[in-house]
Every structure is written in C-alpha cells, then in structure tokens.
Chains A and B, each alone.
Chain A
C-alpha cells in the first residue's frame, strides 16, 4: 500500500490533468482547480517545514561553530527580525518593505550584476581556439557580437550575424526543443502509468 497508493494517486491526478488539457468540461475544470488549491495548501505546510529546516541547519552550524558560522548568525537574526516586523507592523508598512527595498533588492541586483563578470570569464575559456569546434565557436561568436553593434553594420557584417542567429542557431535550438518535448511527454506518461517509480525508491 505504501508503494501502490502514491502510484494510483499519481495516475488519477495525471489523467485528470491530461483530460483538462483536452476538454472544456466544467466538472473536470473544477477538479483541476481543486488540485491547484490543494497544491497551495501543501506548499504552505511545506514552507513551514522549509523555514524549520533553514533555522535548524544554521542553528546547528552556530552550535558547532562550523566554518562561516557568523553568516549563519546573520541569517537566523534576519529570519527572526523579518518575521517579527511583519507580524508587528504588517508586511505593507514599517520596516518590512524598507528592508525589502533597501537591503534585499540591492543584494539581489548585486548578485545579478556579478553575471557580467562571469560571462567574461566563461567566454574567455570557451573561446580559446584549442580545436576546430572551439575555433568555429570563436568565429561565430565574434561575428554575432560585432553584428549586434554599430561597427558590425559599418563593415557589413550585421546580415551575417542575423543569418547565423536565424538559421544555424534556430535550427539547433529547435532540435533541442523537439528532444525536450518528447522527453517531457515520455517522462509524464511513464509516471502517470506507474512505469517510472525511481522517485519512490528502487524497490517500488
């Protein structure tokens, strides 16, 4: 029952979701919305588990004085502080939105900005012309990059850049997407029919 129950439940929910895609029936639509509502309930409960997990993980690090435990102190303090100000002042006013706008948003922007440097370092490694494929990638990359700026238009390379993006690039992307689509469908069918049970353990 421990193994059969989830498989039967997965089959029923999977078939319901599949039917909802193909039928405008209000009965199936209502059941579909029920499943989505239940997902929100499950998410809410697991979010509590998540916060407990986060707290326990960092609390243990602080207790053990593990490497970088100071960061854990800041994490735990931030977690408690944000919960407290949200409960006292509500999330719409007071320190909560201020902390969000002036602490969290700039930190997120900082992480995103780091991407520019990582792109540079990754491009440097990728464009080292060690073999034919790397040389081909370097050539295509240089043409596309030049074609995207004014200089490319000046030297007449912009049309080549557009051609590379529209034809070889699009063809490769579509090839990948066809494979992805088939893979997704096959995985979904395997799970709905109970053939794929790896997520339940090998003995399932």
Chain B
C-alpha cells in the first residue's frame, strides 16, 4: 500500500520539500527512490503526463513564477523546479548506473568550480537605513503621543491657511453661495489624498454647521465613494443629515484636462464663494486656481507637489506648503493624540537638520562620512 502511494514523483517532491536539498542530496534521494521503486508499481501514466505538461512546481507548492524584482528568489525557484522535473523523469530512474556516473561527474565538477547557491532572504539589506529611520521616527511619534495623552500642553505654530478655513466657509455662508472642494488627481492610496480627505471631513463639518452647500467634483471613483461617506458622516455629526446631497460629490472623468475643464465649468456656473484645492495636483493646478481667481472666490490650496506650489502661491489667497497639508486635519480637529504626532514630525525635522549641519561641517573639513558608512 505504501509503495502504491509512494510514486517516484511524490518521493521526489517530498525530498524537495524537506528543505530544498542540494543537487547531490537529490541524487542520493533518486537512488533511494530507485531502490524503493524496485518493489513498487510505476506511477500512473496520466499522472506522469500531467507532471510533464504542468508548469514547474515550487517545493512549497506554489507556481514557479518569481514576483517582479525578486531575482534571488526567482533563481532559487527555477533551480528547484528543474530538480523536480529531473526527479519526475522516469527514464533517469531506471538506470542507476547512469545516475551514479552523473553523480561522479558532478563531484568532479564540484571540485573544479565554486558553486553559488541562491538563497531566499527575509530582509532586503539595502533598505536597512530606511528601516532604522522609520523605526526611530515611529518610536518618537508614539512617545510624543503618549505625552499628549497625559495632558501635556503642546505648542503648535499658527498656520494661516488653516486659520482661514472658518473665514472661507463663513464668507460662502454670508454670500449664500456654495463651497467647492477638489481633492486633487491622485488615487486614494496616495497619502496626499488621504490627508485631503481628512481635511475634507473638517471642512464638511463646518459647512454643515453653517448650512452651506459643498460641491466636490472627483477624478477618481474610489475617492468619490470615500468622500461621499466622509461628508455624509460629517453632516450627520453636525446634526444636519437632511442637508447632505450625494449628487454634490460626483464623478467627472479620468482625463486630467477633462477634469480641469469640468471643475472650471462648475466654478463659472455655480460661482462658489470659497474654493479648496487640497491634494496632489499636476499641470492643471494653475488652470483651476486662475479660473477660481477670476470668479472672485476666496481660495485655499494645499499640495505636496513642489512643482505646483508656485502656481498656487501666485493664484490663491492661502497655500498650505508641503507638510502643512498633512498637518491640516490635526490642526483643525485639535485632537490631543494627533497633536502629539505633529510634534513628532517637528522633532524628526530637528534631527534631520542636525545631521545636515553636521555633515556639512564634516564636508568642509574634508571628511567623507560616506566612507565610514560603507
């Protein structure tokens, strides 16, 4: 019964699974298989045919396809697959003398060459500095958040663009006109878009409190769906779920300039009194900001795109520069825990500044610190 189950192919796979044995160990395994196979029935023809036609199988049972950029693992997998094919070859199993000869040849080859065996790693050494920096930064954040939780007062500098949010919403309310909010062009997985959605929640809460309409054209349908939920939640929390209209947060197009045309058209027709351009923008930034400027709306922009910042600074009343975009929701909500995280960013900046100054001084002294780091 055991010999019926223990076909050559199964035995070969079992040996492979026992730890990706090197070639010589595999050859010994094959000899053993031959020895056992003398007293067992041959593998079913159908199973052998399947083995020959099916793609190479990784010892762990996965298809032998390396993920992109994973060359080391890919080599290892191909090697294992080739070995598996060799085991499943019945012709090689019926002639033990030939195998013994091959083993002897291989031993001779081994004596002549130093073989390199690729090994799959669990850590990318080239990213060690990034891992250390991320870990240190994460610990700093958690320490400062714990301090903030303890009730310690943390000073946060005034950010004019965020102070102006109340002014912008108030102005729209007084004029009886809507507010326009654009989250940028990036999809939901970009951190700038997440930061924009966090600010949207705060703006929507104020708009609901002032009973002001909020219009939001979207380029990405996932961003649209998330935004609808965030605004609905904000209006509900403000006690005015009746004012929420899902049609005000709508999808336009995936096209970059198509989106710009749609937003500009909305600005010209609806004449919003306040425009928010918060997120990651590309070449359309100036088209949006200049059109908004032409309608006379108060404009607050915020982006982490350094190439678009000058355009927003020129055409908007207030601009959140780089990191201020990420501080937006914290600044507006004043949640103590989040304020701790904001403080952590400042501490990290001081650390980076100190490193930059130190390296500059060392550079002036002719000391190349890169050689120390290897």
A202 touching B122, Cβ below 8 Å: no
Does A162 lie at the interface of the complex (its beta carbon under 8 Å from any beta carbon of B)?
no
In the complex, the chain A residue whose C-beta lies closest to that of B340 is A195
When distances are taken between beta carbons in the complex, the residues of chain A under 8 Å from B221 are 43, 46-47, 49-50, 53
Centre residue among A42, A49, A193, A199 by max chain B CB count within 10 A: A199
B137 touching A185, Cβ below 8 Å: yes
| A186 CA to B124 CA, complexed, in Å | 23
Contact of A201 among B225, B230, B253, B309 (CB under 8 A): B230
Centre residue among B194, B218, B349 by max chain A CB count within 10 A: B194
Does A65 lie at the interface of the complex (its beta carbon under 8 Å from any beta carbon of B)?
no
Interface residues on B, range: 35 or more
Known pairs A108-B257, A176-B321, A199-B226; A23 contacts B124 (CB<8 A): yes
When distances are taken between beta carbons in the complex, the residues of chain B under 8 Å from A24 are 70, 72-73, 120-124
When distances are taken between beta carbons in the complex, the residues of chain A under 8 Å from B234 are 201-202
Known pairs A46-B225, A53-B251, A187-B191; A198 contacts B323 (CB<8 A): no
B322 touching A26, Cβ below 8 Å: no
Within 8 A of B (CB), among A97-118: 104, 107-108, 111-112, 114-115, 118
B224 touching A119, Cβ below 8 Å: no
| A121 CA to B311 CA, complexed, in Å | 11
When distances are taken between beta carbons in the complex, the residues of chain A under 8 Å from B309 are 176
When distances are taken between beta carbons in the complex, the residues of chain B under 8 Å from A185 are 134, 137
Does B82 lie at the interface of the complex (its beta carbon under 8 Å from any beta carbon of A)?
no
- B17 CB to closest chain A CB (Å) equals 15
Does A203 lie at the interface of the complex (its beta carbon under 8 Å from any beta carbon of B)?
yes
| A180 CA to B323 CA, complexed, in Å | 5
Known pairs A122-B311, A183-B345, A184-B304; A108 contacts B255 (CB<8 A): yes
| A26 CA to B234 CA, complexed, in Å | 42
| A46 CA to B67 CA, complexed, in Å | 28
Known pairs A24-B124, A187-B194; A50 contacts B230 (CB<8 A): no
When distances are taken between beta carbons in the complex, the residues of chain B under 8 Å from A193 are 142
Contact of B222 among A46, A56, A179, A203 (CB under 8 A): A46
A122 touching B286, Cβ below 8 Å: yes
A25 touching B191, Cβ below 8 Å: no
When distances are taken between beta carbons in the complex, the residues of chain A under 8 Å from B284 are 111
Centre residue among A57, A107, A186 by max chain B CB count within 10 A: A186
Does A139 lie at the interface of the complex (its beta carbon under 8 Å from any beta carbon of B)?
no
Does A54 lie at the interface of the complex (its beta carbon under 8 Å from any beta carbon of B)?
yes
In the complex, the chain A residue whose C-beta lies closest to that of B202 is A198
Known pairs A21-B127, A57-B247, A122-B314; A183 contacts B326 (CB<8 A): yes
- A167 CB to closest chain B CB (Å) equals 13
Known pairs A176-B306, A185-B137; A42 contacts B327 (CB<8 A): no
When distances are taken between beta carbons in the complex, the residues of chain A under 8 Å from B246 are 53
- B166 CB to closest chain A CB (Å) equals 17
- A99 CB to closest chain B CB (Å) equals 13
B224 touching A122, Cβ below 8 Å: no
Contact of A198 among B141, B329, B352 (CB under 8 A): B329
| A88 CA to B76 CA, complexed, in Å | 48
Apart from A173-B306, A182-B323, what 16 extra A-B contacts exist at CB < 8 Å?
A: A24-B123, A30-B62, A53-B247, A68-B265, A68-B269, A121-B290, A122-B314, A125-B314, A125-B315, A176-B306, A177-B306, A179-B349, A180-B326, A184-B304, A187-B195, A202-B201
Task: Give chain B's interface residues, CB within 8 Å of chain A.
Answer: 62, 66-67, 70, 72-73, 77, 120-124, 127, 130-131, 134, 137-138, 141-142, 145, 189, 191-192, 194-195, 197-198, 201-202, 205, 218, 221-222, 224-226, 230, 233-234, 236-237, 246-247, 250-253, 255-258, 260-261, 265, 269, 283-284, 286-287, 289-290, 304, 306, 309, 311, 313-315, 321-323, 325-327, 329, 333, 337-338, 341-342, 344-345, 348-349, 352
**What are 14 of the A-B contact pairs (CB < 8 Å)?**
A24-B122, A25-B122, A46-B221, A50-B221, A53-B221, A107-B257, A108-B256, A176-B321, A176-B323, A180-B323, A186-B137, A187-B194, A190-B338, A198-B198
Task: Give chain A's interface residues, CB within 8 Å of chain B.
Answer: 18, 21-26, 29-30, 32-33, 39, 42-43, 46-47, 49-51, 53-54, 56-57, 60, 67-68, 71, 104, 107-108, 111-112, 114-115, 118-119, 121-123, 125-126, 173, 176-180, 182-191, 193, 195-196, 198-203
